Structure 1
Amino acid sequence: MRHLVAATATLACTAVLGGLVALAPTAHAGEFLADGGFESGNLSGWSCDPGTTQVVTGQARSGSHALAGSPGGTGTAQCKQTVGVAPNTAYTFSAQVKGSYVYIGVDGGAGTWTPGTGGAYQQLTVSFTTGANQTSATVYVHGWYAQPTYYADDLSLTGPGGPTPSPTPTDPTPTDPTPPPTDPTPTPTPADPAPSSHALVGYLHSSFANGSGYVRMADVPASWDYIDLAFGEPTSTTSGDIRFDRCPVAECPAVESDAEFKAAIRAKQAQGKKVLISIGGQNGQVQLTTTAARDAFVGSVSRIIDTWGLDGLDIDFEGHSLSLGAGDTDFRNPTTPVVVNLISALKTLKARYGSAFVLTMAPETFFVQLGYQFYGPGPNGAQDPRAGAYLPVIHALRADLTLLHVQDYNSGPIMGLDNQYHQMGGADFHIAMTDMLLTGFPVAGNTSRVFPPLAPSQVAIGLPAGSNAGNGWTSQAEVNKALDCLTRKVGCGGYTTHGTWPALRGLMAWSVNWDKFGNWEFQRNFDGYFG
């Protein structure tokens, strides 16, 4: 999941530091990006993936220079730039791109892409509106894994200026003002709802604000069965020490008190709902590289669960949290420390809290379904080591796993069991991706190492709640087509599923907040479909 980071200022460029452009206020519309045409001849002003991005001549749409990104098999060749923006303001981001599977967008918001431009430049455009307290936005352009070099030129972000806020520290150190007991007594929880029931899962922005607005726990509608508190984050990438800090009043003026928050959690639980702490997210990289980090993870997560009286844990490890080491080729017997230690930590937590402990996971497609083609660094070490890296974790915990809701968004094309590439944004993508989880698949094409299917009651489809919530939004009509196909084998289009699963658990949304922003369209569609 992605959320916009709070940062610095607004228009009229004064300095560029690590991709963050400091700006002075202005009263008129203008260009926000520094060097959107790359005419400096270098990547000044941009934060880009090293080794795969460069400024070149001979490929420009205008001027003399353009960005060239060569993803190869190890990344997406992304460049991004963070700029100051004004709250409650509309902006437009556009780029001229040339190549196959080129993406542009704004972190935590709208995005678009093209499957190919036919050898010529094509303009891509997205529009977005900032939130009430938002003072920065990060825009990006990237290609996709194993695709040829793409080119981008004439990138532009336009809109009015805004006030210059106080600078925000780049990497603040989380604090825990009131340390809880070292060895708290586990919180008892009621039994999980019957696995045969359909469920609606949503993330609640609890530690930050973005353009969707703050939602109090007590105001979450009763339709939401699993409420994931976003996010618990580590004090450092490898510490394993997870902290959950609620959104401060300065950032979320409507935030309730801790006592009100706890009371609302108890009220939800009395209604049979489950409230979990979600660990990770886009900004919360967690690498349990040592047993000490593993133990710190167990201890700190337990303290969060007991302090707030939660029902369990959601693992939303993204970015570089999980990867596979050289020689780690069998998902059934992993050897990479970050994977082995995470499995051990989750098993320890499950044993501590017992059968009522709720465990969910929200990996991206790159870490799961891409494992059908690629697993880890590969025999020659040339692949992205993160490919399929969630598979050993899911497999080891499958007996304890309550729900897996893979994020069917922020994804490039993924090959399905029909050996065709499927692209996000329509029913076909969700059908193909979910069919893989419920059918199983040979990992990296090795028929002697088949990832077994999960039970339908363990699988939900992960989606953006609205068009502003993430790259790959799917209309409710297309969501219903996917559900019709998977649960009744009706209207499957050109894809043939390997079964029919009426017990498919349901849907996950990023997020409750974004659904409220969209007048609860996602929730209302779920209620209408499942009754």
Structure 2
Amino acid sequence: MERAPFVRRSWLGGALAVIAAAALSLAGLTGTAQAADINVAKNAGFESGLSNWTCSGASGTTVSSPVHGGGSALRATPSGQDNAQCTQTVAVRANSTYTLSSWVQGSYVYLGASGTGTTDVSTWTPGSTSYSQLSTTFRTGASTTSVTVYVHGWYGQPAYFADDVSVVGPDGGGGTDPGPTVPAAPAGLKAGSVTKSSVDLSWSPSAGATGYNIYRDGAKVLSSTGASASVTGLSADTSYQFQVTATNSAGESPRSTVISARTSADGGGGTGGGSVPKHAVTGYWQNFNNGATVQKISDVPANYDIIAVAFADATTTPGAVSFTLDSAGLGGYSTTQFKADIKAKQATGKSVVISIGGQNGTISVSDTTSANNFADSVYSLMQEYGFDGVDIDLENGINSTYMSQALKSLSAKAGSGLVITMAPQTIDMQSTSNEYFKTALNIKNILTVVNMQYYNSGSMLGCDGKVYAQGSVDFLTALACIQLEGGLDPSQVGLGVPASTSGAGSGYVAPGVVNNALDCLAKGTGCGSFKPSKTYPGLRGAMTWSTNWDASSGNAWSGAVGPHVHALP
């Protein structure tokens, strides 16, 4: 057989020819190579406000908390006629598949796409109190070059939050947001509540961050997706140094400034309140004259262990409060004497706190700014007047996320001696899912006592699912059982009742009934038809509205209930 003429080629040239031939062959099998998919949504994390987004009825805004990633998120509020829909039109490629997703928080939040040219899609969640991810896919039609993506809530429902929207697929010609840069070091690192084995930390979110690393004494100990964390596993009565960094796909920021925090010696664990005795009586003192006996702080009987000064006043600054003594209404009681009387009570082992709210209270703590304002202003009042702490008596609603944040921030300022009391209405403590109950559980390690108001409510459910009439021993014990079995320590549960028939519209019970209820819960004696499955000898005690109405009745309530509380086991 005749051979073909010999042609000399270099080895490299031959190899390149083979590779080229293979590439042509693969191209014929798979088509032209495609660029990597991108997120075609712009301002997907709402870091540039509402740029590229349109929200119906001016329902949307951006907030710094709560966020899923970065420093901002969308907050949109539906109304009766508007579902607070926020939309963006994105550039897409025809005949292509896209994955649509977003992190959302709130009740009845929807995510979807319209104008796809094929089948429009949507998905939804019935609600959550933290961020969860919604995701769906869609395919564009043969001539589709743009699609509208949207997120919305539901009519009349509370505000919802959305963050980190992505529409991932082929570039439709609009490109994507610039890639992330390494975030700046977080600012505002501070310590919150402490126990003998843990320290709560919080800081300001860093723009562009998707997570944070927490360092203890120079070593990384944990990570967080939000701007707070609890460092656990610590030794009691020990000082530690903490720093935090911000992270995203571009890398990790420099470390924040160093702060120090010391764990407690006794561990907290629901015994917050400094020198408050094991069994305590709380009484509200009226900074106004409504027909009850006008008193000075010095007039309050010794049977009261915690005196709640009612009330602080709202200011024009969101969340902030102030206090002005009603000297004229109290017969010329001077601020100087008021402060001196507080010190005198404290010298005998009593605590005096400033109460926030009341029936007409309008203080709202609904975001990080107002939470900080609340903590700063209450701490300022503590420094000015010598108050030992704060009482939360907000009867027009409470936001557990931000009130908890505010009280933890106040605790970080005031230290372990801070006294925190609460006076929710009965309806507010019927379930652990209620905002008041969640707040109490959120701050359990710094909470002194919850003195629920067992009055002005009508019949309510007890922990056994039965309905009990207001004004009975069963009403007091069966409703207290909800708190005792719902996660509060017995030392954090008190029975709040009127001091006389003039102290409330309904729900007055004689002091003897209060004492029977205390005995039933603490010792298993004196019960009515309801008897708890176990006893709670650590029960904190009782509260009354008010020391003034008590005085109008000759201090009959405190004279009977006070010694009984102090004699509990």
Instruction: Tell me which interval the TM-score lies in, with the shorter structure as reference length.
Output: 0.5 to 0.7
Deviations 1:43-95 (A, max 9, x none): xxxxxxxx9xxxxxxxxxxxxxxxxxxxxxxxxxxxxxxxxxxxxxxxxxxxx
The answer on 1:430 being equivalent to 2:476 is: yes
8 Å contact from structure 1 (residues 435, 498) kept in 2: no
The secondary structure found in structure 2 opposite 1:390 is: helix
**1:483-520 CA-partner distances (Å, limit 9, x unpaired):** 22112111322112021122211110101001001110
CA distance 1:288–1:527, shift in 2 (3 Å)? closer
Separation in 1 of the partners of 2:308 and 2:563? 23
Match of 2:302 in 1: 222
Give the ranges of 4+ consecutive aligned residues of structure 1 lying more than 4 Å apart after TM superposition: none
Q: CA deviation at 1:255?
A: 3.8
CA gap of 1:458–1:411, structure 2 versus 1, over 3 A, is: same
Q: 1:268 is matched with which residue?
A: 345
| Alpha-carbon distance in 2 for matches of 1:485, 1:302 | 38
Residue of structure 1 equivalent to 2:375? 298
User: Is 2:392 aligned against 1:312?
Assistant: no
- Map 1:175-324; keep pairs closer than 5 Å: 192-193=274-275, 197-206=278-287, 208-236=288-316, 239-249=318-328, 251-252=329-330, 254-319=331-396, 321-322=397-398
Partner of 2:524: 489
Q: Which has the higher strand share?
A: 2
Q: TM-score when scaled to structure 1?
A: 0.53
Determine the structure 1 residue equivalent to 2:420: 359
Partner of 1:409: 455
Structure 1, residues 444-487: CA drift from partner, whole Å, max 9, x if none? xxxxxxxx2x2211211101011110120011221122122112
Please list, as runs of the form range in 1=range in 2, the aligned pairs for 1:311-460 lying within 5 A after superposition.
311-319=388-396, 321-322=397-398, 338-369=399-430, 371=431, 375=433, 388-440=434-486, 452=487, 454-460=488-494
Instruction: State the partner residue of 1:465.
Output: 499
AA aligned to 2:409 is T
- Range that drifts further, 285-294 or 352-361: 285-294
Rg (Cα) greater in structure = 2
* Structure 2 residue identity aligned to 1:359: I
Structure 1 residues 211 and 199: alpha-carbon distance in aligned structure 2, compared to 1, 3 A threshold = same
Aligned equivalents of 1:342, 1:477: Cα separation in 2: 36
1:474 alignment partner AA:
V
Shift of 1:350: 0.4
Distance of 1:503 and 1:340 partners within structure 2: 28
Counterpart CA distance in 2 for 1:191 and 1:509 is 19
Q: Give the conservation status (yes or no) of the 8 Å contact 1:203–1:230.
A: yes
Shift, 1:229, TM fit: 0.5
Partner of 1:355, secondary structure, is: coil
Tell me, in whole angstroms, the C-alpha distance in 2 between the residues paired with 1:463 and 1:345: 27
Give a deviation string over 1:152-186, Cα, whole Å, max 9, x none. Answer: xxxxxxxxxxxxxxxxxxxxxxxxxxxxxxxxxxx
Specify the alignment match of 1:146 in structure 2: none
Correspondence list, 1:123-202, <5 A: 192-193=274-275, 197-202=278-283
Q: Deviations over 1:249-272 (max 9, x none)?
A: 1x33x2421111111110111111
Root mean square deviation of aligned Cα:
1.9
| Matched residue type, 1:239 | P
What is residue 504 of structure 1 aligned with on the other side?
539
Cα drift, residue 194 of structure 1: 6.0
1:526 aligned to 2:565? Answer: no
Counterpart AA for 1:313: V
Higher relative CO (CA 8 A, sep ≥ 6), structure 1 or 2?
1
Measured in 1, the distance between the counterparts of 2:406 and 2:336 equals: 29
CA-to-aligned-CA distance 1:92-133 (integer Å, 9 cap, x gap): xxxxxxxxxxxxxxxxxxxxxxxxxxxxxxxxxxxxxxxxxx
* Identity fraction in percent: 38
Aligned residue pair count: 295
Distance 1:288 1:527 in 2: 34
Q: Secondary structure at the match of 2:454?
A: coil
After superposition, the Cα gap between the structure-2 partners of 1:361 and 1:527, relative to the gap in structure 1 and judged at 3 Å, is closer
Letter matched to residue 281 of structure 1:
G
Contact 2:273 2:446 in 1 (8 A): no
1:353-401 deviation per Cα after TM superposition (whole angstroms, max 9, x unaligned): 11111111111111112x27xx5xxxxxxxxxxxx22121111001110
Q: Alpha-carbon deviation of 1:191? A: 7.3
Is the contact made by 1:216 and 1:255 (CA closer than 8 Å) also made in structure 2? no
The SS at the match of 1:224 is: coil
Alignment match, 2:95: none
| Residue aligning to 2:116 | none
- Describe the SS at the equivalent of 1:406: strand
What secondary structure sits across from 2:519 in the alignment? helix
TM-score, length basis structure 2: 0.50
Partner of 1:405, secondary structure, is strand
- Indicate if the aligned counterparts of 2:273 and 2:448 stay in contact, CA closer than 8 A: no
Distance change >3 Å, CA 255–CA 429, structure 1 → 2: farther
Question: Do the aligned partners of residues 194 and 342 (structure 1) sit closer, same or farther apart at CA in structure 2, a change above 3 Å counting?
Answer: closer
